[in-house]
Structure 1
Amino acid sequence: ISFNAIDSALSSLKNCQSYINSGMDVATQVALDLVESFNDEEDVNNMEKVMLEYATMDRELNHYIKAFEETINQVKREKPENLPDLENLAQEKFLEMESKNSDLDFQRNEKYMYFKDQLKEMKKQYHGNDTIEEIDEDIAVTRSQMNFICPITQMTMKRPVRNKVCGHTYEEDAILEMIQTQKQKKKNVRCPKMGCSHVDVKGSDLVPDEALKRVIDSQKKQ
């Protein structure tokens, strides 16, 4: 049995994921622009709906790819004399996965959660604490106030990154250099924020803090 055509189709589907990711990146930037420009709350809510649609598409695409991959692997493993209807088999697996869908799935979508987190921080900075109650409290780490100073360089950050584990922010180059230096010594990196108990900072746990960067840039212009 030749699976070349199917492998090619799967490859094309995986390319679609990059388009969804790009769309989510754009939607995040637009939503932050809207908050920064004090646009109507309805416009911001519409961008949240767009992000939810992207996250739903991403979940559906992942299920479709997984269903086809499982079907192909099953046929390769069992090597039946008569080739079954692969499309029907995959469709059954796909529908089974879709039947287990839950809103909790979106908490595993990093781009969607990043969007929620950054939007919350922007609203907190530009509209005060009165809007915080309206935002879903599904991010574990919240910061009561934003700190512009990097705990490593002791200077105002230019490219802040946030640690997903402990919630603290650092200058990107400074923390990556620290991680690299400690890696050469085969040692873990303790979070440089005073009083933080997190003792294993990894590069993979760092995400750009777009909301903080915008606030810092805005302060510089004043």
Structure 2
Amino acid sequence: MSLSAVRAALSDLKNCQTDIGTGMDIVTDMAMDLAESQKAQGDPGIKAMEDIILECAKLDREINCFSHIVERVTSEVGREPPEAMFSLSARVKEQFAEKMASLSDTELENHNKVVAFKDSVANTLNQAKPGTVEDMEELDEDIAVTQSQVNFSCPLTQIEMVNPMRNKVCNHYYDEEAILGLIQTRHKQKKKCRCPVVGCGNTDVKQSDLILDQMLRRRIRNQKRDGNRM
């Protein structure tokens, strides 16, 4: 197998990851629909969807690990004699098996889309709980304040966010693809990533500080849908 064929296969795997992420967003939306109908946290439907999210997170992690190992091994092989290509497959399999053996399923709880799923369901359930008139008025006020504070446009792209991510440190929002791309670029430059929001003092934005806000994504989508109907 040539190195170009390996790179093409990796590209296909990354496309699969995009599809997996889209599927996880759809499952999260369905779980939020159940939560909005005031189902309990232990509803079997929501639990089944959480299991699906965890399985998808596991597959996403495996693809990430496999891709990183292939990239590392092919880089090593490229600096070795041509006959080293014959050992590429065996070396990848060995290193991948070792990596998988060192991982724990409990780590999947920290996957950004797993965290987003649980937060979205919990927040939706809390909003769906019946309360007093005063409670409902307070909730409406909180939602109005949140909507006024959050700009639907990404500070990096200046266009409407598709998958908004909230920074837990400074509470600013960015589109997922844009902020992760910026962090990766800064990492390659051996530099820290400053929050792109003007005036923000957060000079070290880390991927671990970011969480997908599925409720905001849902709100943006609904607003766009309502706008198209007008």
CA 1:167–1:47 in structure 2 vs 1: closer, same or farther (change >3 Å)? farther
Structure 2 unaligned spans of 5+: 132-138, 154-163, 176-194, 223-230
Change (3 A) 1:39 1:211: farther
Instruction: Provide the C-alpha distance between the structure 2 equivalents of 1:33 and 1:151, rounded to a whole number of angstroms.
Output: 21
Alignment-derived partner of residue 15 in structure 2:
15
Match of 2:105 among 103, 106, 113: 103
Task: Identify the residue that residue 215 of structure 2 maps to in structure 1.
Answer: 210
Rounded Cα–Cα distance in structure 2 between residues aligned with 1:167 and 1:79: 50
CA distance in 1, matches of 2:105, 2:218: 30
Deviation at 1:208, TM superposition (A): 3.6
TM-score (norm 1): 0.63
Which letter maps to 2:23? G
CA gap 1:80/1:158 in 2 versus in 1, 3 angstroms: closer
Asked if structure 1 preserves the Cα contact closer than 8 Å seen for 2:77 and 2:84, the reply is no
Partner SS state of residue 78, structure 1 = coil
Q: Which deviates more, 96-105 or 53-62?
A: 96-105
Structure of greater relative contact order (alpha carbons < 8 Å, 6+ residues apart): 2
**Distance in structure 1 (CA, Å) of the matches to 2:213 and 2:124:** 14
Counterpart of 1:150 in structure 2: which amino acid? V
Correspondence for 2:51 among 49, 52, 74: 49
Q: Which residue of 2 aligns with 1:164?
A: 167
Which whole-Å CA distance do the structure 2 matches of 1:210 and 1:79 have between them? 53
Alignment size in residue pairs: 176
Query: Which amino acid letter does the alignment assign opposite residue 168 of structure 2?
Result: V
SS of 1:149's partner is: helix
1:210 aligned partner, one-letter code: M
Change (3 A) 1:124 1:86: same
Cα deviation code 1:114-144 (max 9, x no counterpart): 1111111112222479xxxxxxxxxxxxxxx
Q: Output the CA distance in 1 between the equivalents of 2:45 and 2:147.
A: 38
Please give the residue correspondences for 1:1-222 in structure 2 after superposition, counting only pairs within 5 Å: 2-39=2-39, 41-79=43-81, 81-127=83-129, 147-150=142-145, 153=148, 163-166=166-169, 188-189=199-200, 199-200=201-202, 205=210, 207-208=212-213, 210=215
1:167 offset after TM fit, Å? 8.2
The structure richer in helix per residue is 2
Residue number in structure 2 paired with 1:139:
none
Q: 1:207 to 1:82 in 2, by over 3 A?
A: closer
Distance 2:85 2:152 in 1: 55
Once superposed, what is the RMSD of the aligned Cα atoms? 3.9
Q: CA deviation at 1:153?
A: 4.1
Whether the 8 Å CA contact 1:52–1:112 is kept in 2: the answer is: yes
> Which residue of structure 2 lines up, in the alignment, with residue 195 of structure 1?
none
- Tell me the CA shift for residue 61 of structure 1: 1.2
> Where do 5+ consecutive residues of structure 1 fail to align?
130-144, 173-181, 190-198, 218-222
CA distance in 2, matches of 1:187, 1:158: 13
- Report sequence identity in percent: 28
State the 1:84 CA deviation: 3.1
- Provide the secondary structure at the position in 1 that maps to 2:97: helix
